Amino acid sequence: MKKIIFVLILNIIFASSSFADAAKMNAGKEIFTGKGMCASCHVLKAADSLGQVGPNLDELKPDIKKVLLSVTNGKGIMPAFGKLGMLNKTEIDIVSFYVASSAGKQ
C-alpha cells in the first residue's frame, strides 16, 4: 500500500517520464503476485507465475482495456476485483498497465 502511494506521488512529479513507468511496473508486479492474487490463476513469465486456472496471459497478450474490464467486472470465475472493492481504481490501473506491458514480452 505504501508503495502504491509512493508510485502515485512519483506519477504526479514525473507525469510522463519512463521513470514513472518503471515504478508502475514494479508496483504492478507486486499487485499481480500479492494483493491481486492474479499469479495464482494465470501464467505470466514476467512475474514468474504459473497459475493454471485462467488463460495464459503471455499467449493472450490482452490490451490494457481488456485487463481493466476483466479486473473491474470479473469474468467467469475470475472475481470482480473492482466491483467487490478487492482492489481500488489506482491499483487496477497499475496492475492493468503492468499486464498489458509485460504479457508476451519475455
Residue ranges in 2-31 that form contacts with ligand HEC under rule CB under 6 A: none
Question: What distance, in Å, lies between the first and last C-alpha atoms of the chain?
Answer: 27
Name the one residue in this structure whose C-alpha cell is 499481480. 32
The minimum distance between CB 81 and ligand HEC, in angstroms, equals 5
Q: Report the chain's C-alpha Rg in angstroms.
A: 13
Residue ranges in 62-81 that form contacts with ligand HEC under rule CB under 6 A: 62, 66-67, 70-71, 75-78, 81
- Residue pair 64/96 in contact (Cβ under 8 Å)? The answer is yes
Residue ranges in 28-67 that form contacts with ligand HEC under rule CB under 6 A: 36-38, 40-42, 53-55, 60, 62, 66-67
